[in-house]
Structure formats: C-alpha cells, structure tokens
Chains A and B, each alone.
Chain A
Amino acid sequence: MEIIRPGFYFDFMKYSKYAIALSLVLIVACIVWMFAKGLNYGIDFTGGTEVQVAFTNDIKTDSLRSTMGTLGFPNAVIQSIGLAGDREFLVRTPTEGDTGYAAAKKIEDGLKTTYGKEKVDIRGVNMVGGAVSKELKYKGFMSLLIANGLLLIYIWFRFQFKYSIGAILALVHDVLITLGFFAFTGKEISLTVIAALLTLIGFSLNDTVVIYDRIRENVKKASGDYDLRNIISGSISQTLSRTFLTSLTVFTVVLCLFLFGGSVIHDFAFAMLVGVISGVYSTVFIASPVVLALPGVRPGAKK
C-alpha cells in the first residue's frame, strides 16, 4: 500500500511564499489574541490554591461560579477540564500558604453542602506558594530557551548555520501557534503543557531533520551546478510519504490520549495535537524555505 506515488514531485518551494504569508497572518493573530485575552496561567505559574472536583450529576460552570460567590470566593477561576462528559472542574483561588488551606477546606466543605456529599468527588488539592511559582515560571521559560539553544547548536554542528536558523524559526512558529490556541480556547497553561511544548519541539524538529538529511544527501549526489530549490522540493517530495506516516501514527496515539487519557493529561494531549499538525506544516513550509532564502556555502560541500 502506498499513499504517495513513487517518483512523486511537487514544487513546494513555489508555494512557500503563500504559506509563509499564511503563517505570518496566523502568528500575528495568535500574538494579538495572546495579548488581548491573555494566557490563562495555572497555579504552577501564578501561585494559589486549586481544587479539582468531579460531580456525579450535570453541573454547569455558571452554577459553580455562583456557588463560589456565595462561599466568599467571587474571584475564583472556574474551569471545566477533560471532555465535556467528564463533569470535572478546576476551581482556583489566588490565596496561598495557610490561608490557601483554609480556602481549600472551605471550598471542599461548601461544595459538599451545596451539591450533596455523595455527588461531589474531591479529586485533588494543589497549593503552590509564590516563591515556588516564580521559580517554576523561570524554569519553564528557561527550559524552552535552553532546549532551543541546544538544538540550534546541534543542527549547526550536524548541518549548517542557516539550517539551524530555519529549524529554530519553525520551532518558534510551532510554539507560538500552540500558545495561540491555548489563548484562543482559554485552556490553562500548566507545567504539563510546558512539557508538551518541549515534546512537540522535539517532534517537529524530528521531521525537519529527516528532510534536512535528505537535502544534504541529494546535494552531495548532485554534480556540478544544481538548483537548490529543485533539490529542496525534491527532498520534501521524496520524504513526504514518511512524513505522512509518522505524523499519522503520532497523531493517532495523541488523539487516543486526548480522547481516553483522562482529565489530567487532556491539555497535554491538546497541545500535542496542535503541535503535531503545526510541526509537519512548519517543516515543509518554514524550515525548508528559510534554508533556500538564506545565503550560505554549498550545503554538504567539503570544507
């Protein structure tokens, strides 16, 4: 069975300017959205207290919000998590430390009296202090930065500098698009989501490297004058079938996580779903055209 015909060739580079324009529009939209609406940082990064609660009967977010108001937490953030049928919520208040416990206890007891003891399942309580949340934010940000830096160096070392620029731009693209989706849906950015971002960086780069590897090989094979543009389009075409297959298997398992993995892993899977699609797209339409656009020594040439 074959998805892509053998000998298939498509001039990807011809259309790359449209694709880049599309990406720019999307990214600008994402950034505007992020600034306008703001990212919904979870307590990992803001500090505070969070109660995860599941109900046996159908409870609306609005009802929960008014309950929290009567309990004395009008500022509580209420968020439905997992799939629609899970009836699971995160209730977040900015209080931390000892007042955080008192708040958590009050929320637990209040929910049980309001909705009935047997209908409320307190699934977990998290409290993150201000000092820790600042650290986590710093560490999360640093880990993204360091991972990108290391990868830049690695690609530079294995290929060429302009290749690493292409790869990193593709990664920044993926991260921004994914964060934009989080801003758009209002989903919570937690530590796990940062882990997902790093993973999709790894995955997206995986794709990019496979195509780069093919470009390097084809350039070596080419004799005399060659058209880098043709080689790049050709390399993408030759690896397209692999790109489809691998992305499909990864997408399939991530979709399984999204659908069956439970509430805790839901946002992680969501980030990965967006990232996998963005990753494939950015490899073909961002990472490769950048290599073509940037001046540089003949790739793969003997130094």
Chain B
Amino acid sequence: MDKFQVKGLLILAVLIVGVVFAVPSFMGSSELSEGYPGPKQKIRLGLDLQGGIHLVLQVVTEKAVESRMNSVLNDLKNEMINEKIHYSKAMVDTPETVQVSLRVSEEQDELDKLIQDKYQYLKYANKSSGPEGSTVVTYRISPQEAESIKKQAVEQALETIRNRVDQYGVSEPSIIPQGADRIVLQLPGVSDPERAKKIIGKTALLEFKLVDEGASSADAASGNVPAGDYVAYMKDSNQPVLLKQQAVLTGASLEDARVKIDQYNEPYISIAFNREGGRIFEQVTTENVGKQLAILLDGKVYSTPVIRDAISGGKAIIEGRFTMEEAKDLAVVLRAGSLPAPVTILEERTVGPSLGQDSIQKGIIACLVGGVLVIIFMLVYYKLSGLIANLALVFNVVLMVATMAAIGSVLTLPGLAGFVLTIGMAVDANVLVFERIREELRLGRTPKMAVEMGYKNAFSAIFDSNLTTVIAALVLIQFGTGPVRGFAMSLTIGLVWSMFTALVLCKWIQEWLVTYRNTDHVSI
C-alpha cells in the first residue's frame, strides 16, 4: 500500500467517524435502534429553538453583608451590656458600618478593646460628636470579610436556586455563575415564566418570632416601639404586630415542607424541623405556653397562633389562605432553602414554543434551499469537479453536525444561520482551487500537473482568507452572549472543516482521477 492509499484510508476513517457521530442528530425526534454502534448524543438545541426562559440574576450581595452586620450588632449590644459600656444608640449605618453612640467618651477605649478581642473583622473608621455630649464611633467591616460574605452569598444563592429548579422539575436546566455576583439561568421548555420567576426570585426567609404582648401594637405602630422589638405587618390585613427582634427559629432548621389539605379543603403547608430545630422548637414552646408565636415569610407575618402546649416532634404548619399553586410553590422554595440575599432580574428572554418551532422549520428550509441552489450552481459551472465539491459540501455539513454533537455545543438560531453561511462560504475554497486549475490547464499543463499546481497555488489564499474569518468569529465567541456565540461557534467549526473537505478530501479524489484513472482531461 503506498502513501496515497494510506491517505485515502485515513480520510475515509475521518468521514466514517463523522457520519457515526452525526447520525443521531439527523434522526430528529425518532428513536435510534438499540444496536446503534456510535454515541447517541444529539446536538442540543438552544433556548431560542426550543422555547424557554433565559434569566440573568444579580445577587444583591450588599444585603447579605447588611444582614450579617445586623446580627453582629445584636451580639455587640449584649456584649456592651455585659461589659458595662454605656451606649445610647447602636445601629447599622450603611450596609458595611455600625455606629455606636457612647454616653461617656472615655469608654471608647473599652469599646475598641472589645471590638478588637471579639470582632476582629470590624475596623475603627471614625468618630464624631453626637447630640447631648455623646460620642459617635463608627466601625467598618474589613474589605476581606465583606468580600468573603459576598462570595458566600453568591455560592449559596447558586446552590439554592439549583435546588429550587430541581424541585420545580425542569429538564436540562443550566445554572452558571457569571462575574462576581451574577447567575445565568436557562430553563428550556418552561412555558410559564411568571411562575418560574416567582419560584426563583423569592427570598423565602422563614422566621419564627415571639409576639410581644406587653405593649399595644397600635401604639408601637405610631412610633413607640419598646427596645428589642419591632413592628411587622400581617400578610393579608396589613395589621401591625409587635414582634421580638430575635428570631427563635429560621428556615435553616427545616427538613421538609409539604402541601396538605385541611378539613375545609384549604391547602396549608406542613413543615418538619431537623433534630436540632425540633429541640429548640420544643424548648421555646415549653417556655412560652399561652403566648403567640408569629410565623413570618420574607418579613410578612402569615399567622400568629397561640402556643397551647409544648410541641414536641418538630412539626408545625403554615396557614395563609393559599391557592393550591401558591402552596405548592411555597413548599418548593421552603424545601430548597432561602436565598442568603435577594436577587434582582437583570435580563430576561422568553421564547414561546411557537416561535422556537417556527424558527427551526424556517432555518432548515433556508438551509435546504440555499444548499440545493449552491449544489446546482457548482454542478453546472464545474461539471464533474463541481460534483466533487458538492460531495465535499455534504460531508462538510455532516462533519459540522458531528463535531457540534460530540463537543456538546448548543445549536441556536443564529447558529443555524452560521450553517447556512458556511454552505455559501465553504465552496469558496473549491472555487479558488478550480479557477487555478483552469488557469494551469490554459497554460497547457497536463491534467496531473494542473491539479497539483492548482491546489498548491490556491493554498495561501484559502488559508489566509479563512483565517481572517475565523479571527472575526473568535472575537465573537469571546464577546458574544448565548445565541451570538452559537453562531460564531458553528461558523468556526464549519470553516475549519471546509478546509479539510476542500483541501484534503477533494484533492485526494481529483488526484486519484488524474493519476490512477489516467484521464486525459479534467472535467472542470
């Protein structure tokens, strides 16, 4: 076997592998037979072809820092009381700073020492004089600590959203972080974007807080709030309720949440705490028999049941005049856990199923019509050589499909346009070669020489011109988003394979014709 034959076998091997990888994608929705020898994965369709929802979320990480600072502040207040540091006011000023107003300015040293010992991540920022001779000292959270809280918030948000999407039952979702605080979410086939957004965007912070029955809530609502308390409002009636600031339990202690139906056919949610949560719940209920316990979700009070007895077993219920769908969705978000910080939606793209279907059909029609026209054209213009170029074109498409299926790249609508464009541009390499061969023939060269010189002389033009297009496409891959990137991917893959089919496959066939078949002329 000579070198030429070996080369032919290698080309054949590439083509066979290509066909094997491409067949599943060409089968469409029909099933492959059991005994199919190759990999069964198909080209994945992008959201714009399948329908679905694409969301870019931003985690409001400042809120995570702020809520952390709030809990630090609560702790600090207790410590200051223990250490007998007299403060008139202590609050979280900006999300990253706490402010303490000291009655006696000399106590600042003690406060500094306390902060240094117990809260190393708080750094002294400045002080100023406040009203009534007080000294206002400001501490700022260290940038490293703030950064790590933010990072954690994003990671946890990612995890929570992943859980929620899993619970919601979306097939093949894609949830990936982007930049410092963004999450890109793709939910193929989701037909109700409103509902999906509610499930994903809900903070779902579940809290249990004791109601302060020592003071009137109406009085508190008009501004007279006892220390350690605050006013929250009922979900439906918007009535004020005076609550203890400290939550006795949060959703973090939940193990399960299920929708149940009560005797009036109204849905409610039955929740189960984990072991530690159950223990705390039992302790709290034992100590507060006869008092009211408020159940809050995202700051709204859902109900304020009276504790009749100590509750052991770690179970509780949430009522709130839910519709069935609301109750189901709430159970999903409770099971998946709360978001560490709220999220806002920066970008949303919804593609209805009719548009996706329409786009695929039209894209394929454009592909077919364009392809057929180019094939006819090449055949008429270049005869047998045109036929060879057409063969190369068909294999070009096959190899493109095979590559995209193999590397798991996603086919978007602009990607389909990339296919069409590749069909138009792929024949360029053939045209360049064939024009050269014609020129060489006109100079009176033998067919064998003409073919050889044609390929040789056309090479630099083909290489340079394809590379420039690939450079533009690579820039698109780097900068583009979703669909546009898909276009650049398919264009790049197509052009690389067109070099192979035009310069290797076609060359081999034409050389075989002029060398082994000893044809005395080239049909071109």
Contact = CB atoms under 8 A, between A and B. Distances in A.
Interface string B334-371: 00000000001111111110110011011101110111
B481 A136 contact: yes
A124 B432 contact: no
Contacts of A256: 366-367, 369-370, 373, 420
Contacts of B222: none
Given A249-B424, A260-B365, A268-B417, A147 B472 contact: yes
Given A147-B475, A158-B464, A126 B484 contact: no
Nearest to B197: A101
A143 B471 contact: no
Contacts of B435: 239, 241-242, 245
B472 A209 contact: no
B427 interface: yes
B471 A154 contact: yes
Contacts of A124: 349-352, 355
B217 to A, nearest CB: 30
A260 B346 contact: no
Interface in A168-188: none
Contacts of B157: none
B480 A195 contact: yes
Contact of A202 (B58, B344, B468, B483): B468
Contact of B377 (A127, A252, A260): A252
A106 interface: no
Contacts of A22: none
Interface centre among A146, A241, A256, A268 (most CB of B within 10 A): A256
A199 interface: yes
Interface in A249-301: 249-254, 256-257, 259-262, 264-265, 268-269, 272
A279 B351 CA distance: 34
B323 to A, nearest CB: 18
Contacts of A123: 351-352, 354-355, 358
B155 interface: no
B264 interface: no
B347 A139 contact: no
B48 interface: yes
Nearest to B477: A143
A6 B438 CA distance: 9
A150 interface: yes
A154 B463 CA distance: 12
A206 B373 contact: no
A183 to B, nearest CB: 22
B346 A129 contact: yes
Contacts, number: 221
Nearest to A262: B362
Contact of A246 (B355, B427, B471, B478): B427
B431 interface: yes
Contacts of A203: 425, 469
B491 interface: yes
A192 B421 CA distance: 14
Interface centre among A143, A201, A207, A259 (most CB of B within 10 A): A143
Q: Which secondary structure dominates where chain A touches chain B?
A: helix
Contacts of A154: 467-468, 471
Nearest to B382: A1
A206 B355 contact: no
Given A123-B355, A245-B381, A253-B370, A195 B476 contact: yes
Given A150-B475, A246-B427, A265 B465 contact: no
Contacts of B461: 209-210, 213-214
A25 interface: no
Contacts of B348: 101, 125-128
Contacts of A242: 428, 431-432, 435
Nearest to A276: B424
B413 interface: yes
B473 interface: yes
Interface centre among A151, A210, A259 (most CB of B within 10 A): A210
Size category of the A interface is 35 or more
A296 B198 CA distance: 65
A206 B469 contact: yes
Given A52-B355, A127-B348, A250 B414 contact: no
A134 to B, nearest CB: 11
B402 interface: no
Nearest to B367: A256
Nearest to A140: B479
B345 A6 contact: no
A209 B427 contact: no
A203 B418 CA distance: 13
Contacts of A119: none
A299 B475 CA distance: 29
A238 to B, nearest CB: 8
Given A143-B478, A262-B358, A252 B417 contact: no
B350 A125 contact: yes
Interface string B149-183: 00000000000000000000000000000000000
A250 B369 CA distance: 13
B428 A246 contact: yes
Nearest to A200: B472
B135 to A, nearest CB: 40
Contact of B363 (A139, A249, A254, A265): A265
Contacts of A147: 471-472, 475-476
Nearest to B364: A260
A206 B468 contact: yes
B466 interface: yes
Interface in B226-265: none
B32 interface: no
A142 interface: yes
Contacts of A151: 468, 471-472
B517 interface: no
Contacts of A155: 468
A122 interface: yes
Interface centre among B58, B348, B468 (most CB of A within 10 A): B468
Contacts of B194: 101, 105
A11 B468 CA distance: 28
A52 B351 CA distance: 9
Contacts of B442: 6
Q: Which 10 A-B pairs have the closest CB atoms?
A: A262-B362, A202-B469, A253-B370, A202-B472, A253-B424, A256-B370, A250-B424, A143-B479, A123-B355, A213-B461
Given A101-B348, A121-B352, A268-B417, 7 more contacts: A101-B197, A128-B346, A136-B481, A206-B469, A209-B461, A261-B417, A265-B413
8 contacts: A97-B344, A151-B472, A192-B483, A199-B469, A210-B461, A213-B460, A242-B428, A265-B413
Interface of A: 1, 6, 52, 54, 97, 101, 105, 121-129, 131-132, 136, 139-140, 142-143, 146-147, 150-151, 154-155, 158, 191-192, 194-195, 198-199, 201-203, 205-207, 209-210, 213-214, 217, 238-239, 241-242, 245-246, 248-254, 256-257, 259-262, 264-265, 268-269, 272
